[in-house]
A and B are shown apart, each in its own frame.
Chain A
Amino acid sequence: MSGHIDESRLNEYLERLLSPEKVREVEEHLEACAECQERLSAQSELVVALRDLPREARPDRELWEGIAGRLGSASGAQRGAVAAGARVIPLEARRSLGQRITLSVGQLLAAGVVLALISGASVWWALGEGGGGAPLASSEPGGIPAIATSDALEEYDQAAAELEELLEEGRDVLAPSTVQVLEESLETIERAIEETRAALARDPGSSILNQRLADTMRRRLEILRQAARAIYAQT
């Protein structure tokens, strides 16, 4: 392998998407390259960054109350798992050389969902409707960072549904053509999610499908966030 390992390949390595041959190449390079070891460590510490993500903020508009209440219902460490009921597991990304990174696709997917949810919840923060409060996600100082498992998928669905409700409540303030675009887009995304989930049910170990599902679900939340911002701007 010439040069350093690029970001994309490091991600694939962490997500165990590489062929055994490529894994060997990466690990051989890691053994000899301190810089790439550091980058790998930094990347696998993704979840630690949860501590620094936007804090809970409460909107003062009625439109937002239901969603803010539900998204903000978790407290303390539970916020790191998005909502009460989500199982929190320790994540130990082993970084010592020769040890295969043990992040499963499911864990990474869940981490992605957590991040996506935080992005959704950060609408309030982005809108400048307040600040302070407990971190949306946290881990014990010096302790092992926590992420949600795939149970977070259910929480994700709930949060997305809440944002869809917001879109429904606020649709009158948007132009009909924009509402139509948003609704068609969400239907398209929903179909994609359903198709991917169905395929995943037949092939639960597929890393490709897991990644596709996570990507599509993130996209869904992005669109919902866009809609939420648009409604807020209009009101």
Chain B
Amino acid sequence: MLASLTIAALAALAGVQQTDTIVSLQGATRLALENRGGQVVVTTWDRDAVRIQAEHAERTWIEVERDGDVIEIQAGTRRGPPTVIDYAITVPPSLDLDIEGLQTAVTIEGVAGEVEVETLEGDIHIRGGRGSIIAETTNGEVTIEDAEGVVEMAAVAGGVTVTNSSGEILAETVMGPITIEGVTARIVEAATVSGRILYDGTIEEGGRYSFGAHAGRIELVLPAGVNAEVTAVSLAGEIRADYPGAPTEFAPRKRSSFTLGSGGARIEAETFSGDITMRRR
């Protein structure tokens, strides 16, 4: 959002130039892109090539280089650092992506390779991704959907959301909410300071699910028939469980442990002053 506003302002001030080029993969398996400011939108097609479309200032040019099996995209400029560049990149679905930015919003649609995105200011939205999927922003939100693999996401004030995904989910914020819904995961780790955590996903046999907050609320929505050892503690908040087999009362400030079904998975929820709620889906 911030980046978009900046782009609009700068485009009005400077002449805008278009770049549009297609680079054959020739064995490349990864695309690395650095963008100081602007938007990056990645979509897919069925060609073994990468199309790079960019809108940028006249004094800026786009450099595309090949380093081993990596296609690298960055900007050059006649003077000063590259300003705002809007990229629209089209890639084969299996190409791995590595995108870094400062004031950069990133949207990735329909990919099936590994994804790593890190930006300072700007939202990150990823649909797809297989293997390692990493998204981190300081001033923005992260949303990931339809991912398979190890999903790691982090934000500070903004929220992180993962939906309809499977594998391992690792999520962290300071103030923003963490929402994990519709996932099939064996390992989930969610940690925040003052945000709230919502988990609505499967509890797999042998899986490990860890939720930690300082002042945030932890809300667990569990499917029927969960087999898990559960540990919950809230030092200054309340614990409420509305789930078959769970206790109906919890001692304040004490770590409470109980077993649902035959055990097997492990669920840990811990907060300092927030509440913990557990209920059946």
Tell me which residues across on chain A come within 8 A of B235, comparing CB atoms.
Answer: 199, 208-209, 212
Indicate the size class of the contact surface on chain A.
Answer: 20 to 34
* A188-B139 contact in complex given A182-B156, A195-B272, A233-B102, C-beta closer than 8 Å: no
Please give the distance in Å from A206's CB to the nearest CB on chain B.
8
Q: Which single residue of chain A is at the shortest CB-CB distance from B172?
A: A219
| Partner of A175 from B2, B266, B272 at Cβ < 8 Å | B2
Please give the distance in Å from A29's CB to the nearest CB on chain B.
15
* A188-B120 contact in complex given A6-B266, A181-B157, A226-B138, C-beta closer than 8 Å: no
Q: Is the CB of B212 within 8 A of A177?
A: no
The digit string for A153-185, where 1 denotes a CB below 8 A from any CB of B, is: 000000000000000000000110110011011
Tell me which residues across on chain A come within 8 A of B138, comparing CB atoms.
Answer: 178, 181-182, 226-227, 230
Please give the distance in Å from B74's CB to the nearest CB on chain A.
14
| Partner of A178 from B139, B208, B215 at Cβ < 8 Å | B139
Within 8 A of B (CB), among A1-54: 3, 6, 8-9, 19
A9 to B206, CA, bound (A): 13
Indicate the size class of the contact surface on chain B.
Answer: 20 to 34
Q: Is the CB of A233 within 8 A of B120?
A: yes
Q: Is the CB of B174 within 8 A of A230?
A: no
A196 to B271, CA, bound (A): 11
B18 at the A interface (CB under 8 A): no
B219 at the A interface (CB under 8 A): no
Q: Is the CB of A189 within 8 A of B272?
A: no
B4 at the A interface (CB under 8 A): no
B238 at the A interface (CB under 8 A): no
SS class of chain A's interface: helix, strand, loop or mixed? helix
Q: Is the CB of B193 within 8 A of A175?
A: no
* A215-B212 contact in complex given A185-B156, A185-B157, A188-B194, C-beta closer than 8 Å: yes
Q: Is the CB of A8 within 8 A of B208?
A: yes
| Partner of B255 from A6, A208, A216 at Cβ < 8 Å | A208
A99 at the B interface (CB under 8 A): no
A223 at the B interface (CB under 8 A): yes
Tell me which residues across on chain B come within 8 A of A212, comparing CB atoms.
Answer: 214, 235, 270, 272
A169 to B121, CA, bound (A): 19
The digit string for B203-231, where 1 denotes a CB below 8 A from any CB of A, is: 00010101010110000000000000000
B175 at the A interface (CB under 8 A): yes
A177 to B5, CA, bound (A): 13
A189 to B157, CA, bound (A): 12
* A192-B214 contact in complex given A182-B156, A230-B102, C-beta closer than 8 Å: yes
Tell me which residues across on chain B come within 8 A of A184, comparing CB atoms.
Answer: 157, 175
Query: Can you spell out 13 A-B residue pairs with CB atoms less than 8 angstroms apart?
Result: A3-B206, A8-B210, A8-B266, A182-B156, A195-B273, A199-B236, A208-B233, A208-B255, A212-B235, A215-B191, A219-B174, A223-B156, A234-B102
What are the 8 tightest A-B residue pairs by CB atom distance, in nearest-first order?
Answer: A192-B214, A185-B174, A178-B139, A181-B157, A181-B139, A185-B156, A230-B120, A188-B194
A189-B193, A208-B233, A226-B156 given; 4 more Cβ-contact pairs under 8 Å: A19-B257, A195-B272, A208-B255, A233-B102
B residues whose Cβ falls under 8 Å from a Cβ of A: 2, 102-103, 120-121, 138-139, 156-157, 174-175, 191, 193-194, 206, 208, 210, 212, 214-215, 233, 235-236, 255, 257, 266, 268, 270, 272-273
A residues whose Cβ falls under 8 Å from a Cβ of B: 3, 6, 8-9, 19, 174-175, 177-178, 181-182, 184-185, 188-189, 192, 195-196, 199, 208-209, 212, 215-216, 219, 223, 226-227, 230, 233-234
